[in-house]
Structure 1
Amino acid sequence: MPAHFHRPPRLLPVTALAAMLALWLPAQAAPEPIALPIVRQPLTLSWYANLHPSAATSLHDLSEQTAYRELAERTGIRVAFQHPPIGGEKERFKLLVVSGKYPDVVEADWADYPGGPAKALKDGMIVPLNALIAHHAPNLSALLDANPDIRRQISTDDGTIYCFPMLYIDPRVRNVWGRRSGRTGSTSSACASRPRWPNGTRC
């Protein structure tokens, strides 16, 4: 499931996460170097996301995953996850929408938002990402330029990008995860599809 941004009180969380997510992308022809850590002072991002039942058997929240611990160490950015109760995800999402108090990142199926992503953008629940990606995530920008089908899947009809895609398009990444976890992952994914993580969760 892709990651989306609400309208934040400051730009730093959005730009920091853009750079943070860029670390996951497979290398392009001429990837831009990323200076680590990303932030001068430690930063915590709040992230709303469902927790898959199979993950909940071994994790209290996704920040306990090795991948997020490693990202926090490398980037200086810690993710504080907010997980709705298992079985009550849709109801909790509705409550989040009407609350007007949003975390820095909302990972959700925007088909559940009345009017879809275009209405969520209009309502200010999430923000357009075109300019932010172009300026702060050059590797992702290059990937989208080279893969217009992926761009279409994360854009509204007028071309507004409203989410970061979840991608598994490099088998080397999958193989590394498989060797480290003893499991294998799916091959590729964007927006609507949900790749399987090594611990069994699906995003």
Structure 2
Amino acid sequence: MDDFEYERRFFCREMPPQLDDGDAPTLIVQSYYVHADNYALRIRLQTRKARVPMTRDTDPLDVLEQCRDLFSQAFVTIKGPAVGGTRYEAEREIDTRVAVELVRRGGEIIIKNRYSAWIDEDGWNIDVFGGSNAPLVIAEAERSSPVTNLAIPSFCVTEVTDQARFSNDGLASNPYAAWEGEFERELAEHGPQFQQVFGRNRIRHTVR
């Protein structure tokens, strides 16, 4: 088993409507027991049996309570620092009932809807965040080896692969709402950025 994840991550303006097939996305509720210096220990719950709108008013604790009997899977995950799109990750499935109680007793809670789509040769996850991280949308391409020569969909505005503030553990300690304005000013000043160390980037203008 390879205890590493390989992914590239991108900031998006919205969930591309053409990628919503009408099925319920995966609802993810998670909290962190450690999130410092890009090290993390996370408890995650997930289900596709609930459709929860993601807004700034979405209360993760309320959703956790309302959906406690709907969660189908839960995991405890240990993560190391991300470097060049590679991050140590060790994960184990745990009982959902125990996970609910652990999330309640953990740190700040992250809540999001995850949509999955196959675009060209890659599987993509598009995460739509709620609560204090709304209206953030992050798309990520993940492979079993380094993500090189990637076809990047045009809905990806700029790359945030190695920006720790955009990692889920970073968002737990410093939510997007606290620095959204600062990021938008940076984006306006410097424009979109795409890393050039992962081979040839190809922009995919049409996505079905």
Q: TM range, normalised to the smaller chain?
A: under 0.3
TM-score normalised to structure 1 length: 0.28
Higher helix share: 1
Q: Larger % of strand: which? A: 2
| TM-score, L = length of structure 2 | 0.27
